[in-house]
Structure formats: structure tokens, C-alpha cells
Amino acid sequence: MIEQRRIFMRTMGGGAVAAGLLPRVGAAQPLAGREYRVLATPQPVEAPGGSIEVIEFFAYWCPHCHSLEPALADWKKRLSGDVLFRREHVSFRETRIQQLHYALVAMGKADELAARVFNAIHVERQRLDAPEKMAQVLGLDAKQFAAVYDSFAVRTRARRGTQIAEAYGIDGVPSLAVAGRFVTAPSMAGSNSAALAVVDHLIELTRKRG
């Protein structure tokens, strides 16, 4: 369920590595140190006071992020108004696709086109290795997209995404962070659905602590 740096290197070399993990049976509630970890140093959040921030650390090239996408999309539809969700795209040495994500964010099209990017990479096996190709596959104006993609603002935001992932100690994706204090992942919880249940637990825990 986790796409680590070493797996990324194999994936980019042409052979994806996957690991199947079974959910832990009979757990009354998620346990710190097992289904999630508590950050030694809480991280600043972008959500305003009274809101709870949830971050998905992901990568479009990651097959496990692709497999999480349907469950995550359904889960997001059920979020209450006090939960703010956002994504941070890791680099793990692959900056072109990371920059694509932040270009789409800058254009206000990240939510609209996320499924299309995943499909292009994992189903159609498209190589999105240049802005011209990205624009063609996603149906975007090539000149406009290239200008945004190569902009200082997008490059800066991509570097910021990498810094945020490093601050959270993210070494594999998909991973989910809650309230700047907790991190879980399908690899920790045992499955995609279990990881989202852990996130729900951590959201409720944050509400109770105020």
C-alpha cells in the first residue's frame, strides 16, 4: 500500500512493486505507534482556527495512490464543514509530475483533472514527460499551460510541497496527516478503507481536544 523511495526508483525503471497487507482484526480503536504516528513536533496548518486540516501526501505516478483514489473521492464527499482537505505532491526525485500538480492547482483545475492524470499514467501508460505532452493529454491550451508550469510561483510552490513532506517525515505515499499532529497510511492501517477510518478517528480525537 505504500510507495517508498526505493519502490519509486524501481517503478520509474519499468517495474512497479506492490505489497498487499491485511487489516488488523478485532481492534477496538486505532493505536498510536501502530495504525498512526504522533509527530514529535506539531506542524503549522493552513486551515483557519476551528477547522481541522487533513493532507494527503501523494504522487500521480504512485500506483497505490491511484488505487486509493476511488475510496478517497467517496470519503471526501462525506466530510463535515469543519474539515479542510488538501493535497501535497511529493517529489522523491521526480519533479516533473510534481510540478504538473502544482501547475493544475495554480490554474484551479487540480480537482477537476486529478482522475484524468491518474488514468493517463496508470491506464493509458502515457509518458507525461514534458509540458506540451501534459497539455495535450489533459486538453489544455499548450501555451497557457506552459507559462503556468514554468512559472516561478509554481516552481516555488513545488519546492514548498517537498519541504512540507520532509517536515512530516513522509518517506512513502499515500500518507495522510491530520491537524498537523498525526500521520497514518494504508501501509500502517492495513488497507485503504482502514486508513480512512483512522483519519476519521483522528479527526474526532482532534475535535474532542479542541
* pLDDT class of 189 with cuts at 50, 70, 90: very high
Question: Does residue 4 carry a pLDDT above 90?
Answer: no
> Are β-strands 182-184 and 175-178 bridged in parallel, bridged antiparallel, or unpaired?
antiparallel
The Cα-based distances of 64 to 36, 78, 118, 161 in angstroms read 18, 22, 11, 19
So what's the pLDDT on residue 9? 36
Dump the DSSP string for 147-209: HHHTSHHHHHHHHHHHHHHHHTT--EESEEEETTTEEE-HHHHSSHHHHHHHHHHHHHHHHHH
So what's the pLDDT on residue 18? 33
Of 206, 186, 207, 210, the C-alpha closest to 75 is 186
Higher local confidence (pLDDT), 197 or 14: 197
Q: Which CATH architecture has domain 3-10+32-209?
A: 3-Layer(aba) Sandwich (3.40)
Residue spans of the domains in the chain: they are 3-10+32-209
Residues 6 or more apart whose Cβ sits within 8 Å of residue 156? none
| Average pLDDT of the residues in 66-92 | 96
| Average pLDDT of the residues in 146-152 | 98
Question: Does residue 200 carry a pLDDT above 90?
Answer: yes
94 neighbors 104 (Cβ within 8 angstroms): no
**Residue-wise pLDDT tens digits, 8-45:** 333 333 333 333 334 444 456 999 999 999 999 999 99
Distance of CA 39 to the CA centre of its chain: 18
* pLDDT class of 209 with cuts at 50, 70, 90: confident
So what's the pLDDT on residue 28? 66
